[in-house]
Structure 1
Amino acid sequence: MASSRACDRQTDSSRAGSDKGLASAFYFRNAKTNRPQDCPQVKKALPLRAIEAFEAFGRRGSVTAAAEELGVSVGAVSQQIRKAEDALGLSLLERRGRSVALTSWGRTYHAAVSSGFEQLRDAQHIVERARSESALTISCLPSLASKWLAPRLLDWQTVHAGATVRLIGAEQEPRFGDDQVDFRISYGAKVHEFDHYAELFTDWVVPACAPGLLANRPLKRPSDILDFPLLGIEWARDHQSPPSWAEWAHGIGASHRRTSGEVAFSLSSAAIDAAINGKGFVLAQLSMAAEDIASGRLIVPFNERVRLPGAYFLAWDRAALDKPFGPELRAWVVSISKRLDAS
């Protein structure tokens, strides 16, 4: 065929075996004229196993060490390196006495590929470390963390003995991937800051106080509560506050008579603790006060409830579900919240 071509490799025979002699030129020879023409670049599939064997040899310094690292035979490493040489059309190794060393082309090529393999090894270590690390970090609004989640979390860990959970009470919303947080429990419109989330429950508030507060002042009707010291709750401006005493009074058809002793807390848990200590009535969230009510530390003289305007939700980093116990923890939080929502 007139258009047929053959690609030849020419080397300096006087320098055969030396590093410089390995710098080969490639030509196409015209079938008719036999005159050399530039050989165009041909895209070939990279022999990754061959390059991996060569990189290991260059880094470890011997075929034996490379074979041990890769878990193959010495002959397999030598064969793969020859494949790399065939793909490149260059000699990458040369024998020096009883040892084998990189040629100048080999050193150039190894410097180029070694950084890429180092990045691959780093990526592998990052993923392995993340998957093997059993610790799961939950960021939660402080009052909900201390009054609702923490007591129940201990029960979950008893069942999942191999799990380690770190609970952080925080008002600020975390940034998954940057703040080393796997799960976030928050409230209301903040849900829109996350890609993956599930609604947990919508809470209620009820008027609660310590039993001793009513020892000498029995109540006849719900509106009598408004004559006692009232403990208010005003959350930070990032979240819409829970129902106020004015809203509760409106719900029972009474007017809110503000007393001089009324105090507002930014933390719901602090207001509940103050009520337990006999300082007044609090509009306690059922999620946070359930154990105190069950134990008798708080009493609810009238079950006049007001629903919170927003719902609590659980958000998660997608990578958290690849961690040990990540899916189990998510499913458990959702399940206990549904029981609360149905109460």
Structure 2
Amino acid sequence: MPQIPPLKALRAFDALGRAGSVALAAAELGVTPGAISQQVTRLGELLAVQLVARSGRGLVLTELGRLYHAEIRRGFAALEGAQDVLDRAREDAAIRLSCLTSVLMKWIGPRIFDWQSQHPGARLSLTGSDIEPDLIRGEADFRIYYGGRIHPAHHAVLFTDHVVPACAPELIAGHPLRDPADVLAFPLVSIVWNRRFAPGPEWSVWAERIGASAPESALSYSLSGSAIDAAVAGRGFVLAQISFIAEELRSGRLVVPFDIRLPLSEPYYLAWTEAALAKPDARALHRWLLATGRAQGIISAG
């Protein structure tokens, strides 16, 4: 079997052939021009063929050099292709979890690190999107979604969330609240739900619950996460989902003066396919998601 020249020399020669100059080849490989010239010269000596000729202050490929480079380039292209195949296989091995954007930002995203700490070798890809992926076509392995659509794959209820009026402590500093209706005297931040979902509890519903009436909100958001961030910034009270404000309550950035909760119209679901469960660590993630959902349901219901 013919002896194959050193890879370092072949890489230098390939870079020279593609770049057209010693300086550009050196810049591409992160070495000095002298190193390129030395490796190319060494390669010619090992092959007993003149691969390059001097032209002015540079080097150019000879006719034999061009023929040899064409074959070398095919070899490196094959190696690069093999790397692409491996990278794609690694990407396919990652567990792809798709969620509604606010669910990713405010609920599962902060908690997923707990699962990763127990499975340090697992590869996980998280996507926040309000567009439902086609699980059958492999656009995601798992999907956390809210009510409405029932995925054609396997699905299970995760939990039913509740909302509660929350605000930044600075908003009510110096304004003692004696009655739940006092909340309605402050600016109210609203969340406009996507039309394809059953409407979530609004301020008018919460006010009716306490026997009062609510003024119209001056500020509304289409994303729950953005509305919560506005409340943290002291812009007003928000009817926030319990699952979304755990960290804000724990850190004291939000407070709940009156713990009067309203349930969402529909639960959150988890959908998946049997093929997804075949991926490494996918069954462990599946069990953890269901358990985390059940625990959240207990917390949200109070």
How far apart in 1 are the matches of 2:215 and 2:136?
49
Say if 1:207 and 1:302, in contact at 8 Å, map to a contact too: yes
Q: Map residues 94-113 of structure 1 onto 2, 5 A cutoff.
A: none
* 2:210 aligned partner: 252
How far apart in 1 are the matches of 2:111 and 2:213?
38
**Cα RMSD after superposing both structures:** 1.8
Question: Amino acid of the residue matched to residue 236 of structure 1?
Answer: N
* 2:245 counterpart SS class: helix
* 1:335 aligned partner: 291
Matched, 1:325 2:281: yes
* 1:185 aligned partner: 144
- After superposition, the C-alpha distances for 1:236-282 in whole angstroms (9 at most, x for unaligned) are 112123200001001111111225xx211110000000000000000
Number of residue pairs aligned between Structure 1 and Structure 2:
213
How far apart in 2 are the matches of 1:131 and 1:338?
31
Say if 1:205 and 1:243, in contact at 8 Å, map to a contact too: yes
Q: In structure 2, which of residues 168, 173, 179 is the aligned counterpart of residue 210 of structure 1?
A: 168
Say if 1:137 and 1:183, in contact at 8 Å, map to a contact too: yes
Matched, 1:151 2:107: no
* 1:189 counterpart SS class: coil
Gaps of 5+ in 2: 1-84
Deviation, 1:132, is 9.4
Deviation, 1:131, is 9.5
Cα distance, 1:207–1:132 mapped onto 2, change above 3 Å: closer
How far apart in 2 are the matches of 1:340 and 1:320?
24
Matched residues, percent identical? 47
* 2:254 aligned partner: 298
* 2:129 aligned partner: 170
* 1:284 aligned partner: 240
Q: In structure 1, which of residues 259, 268, 275 is the aligned counterpart of residue 224 of structure 2?
A: 268
Deviation, 1:134, is 3.2
How far apart in 1 are the matches of 2:260 and 2:91?
49
Gaps of 5+ in 1: 1-125
Question: Amino acid of the residue matched to residue 169 of structure 1?
Answer: G
Structure showing greater Rg: 1
Question: Amino acid of the residue matched to residue 164 of structure 2?
Answer: V
Q: Map residues 6-21 of structure 1 onto 2, 5 A cutoff.
A: none
Say if 2:135 and 2:153, in contact at 8 Å, map to a contact too: no
Cα distance, 1:151–1:244 mapped onto 2, change above 3 Å: same
Q: Map residues 55-204 of structure 1 onto 2, 5 A cutoff.
A: 133-190=92-149, 192-204=150-162
- After superposition, the C-alpha distances for 1:291-314 in whole angstroms (9 at most, x for unaligned) are 111110100000011011100000
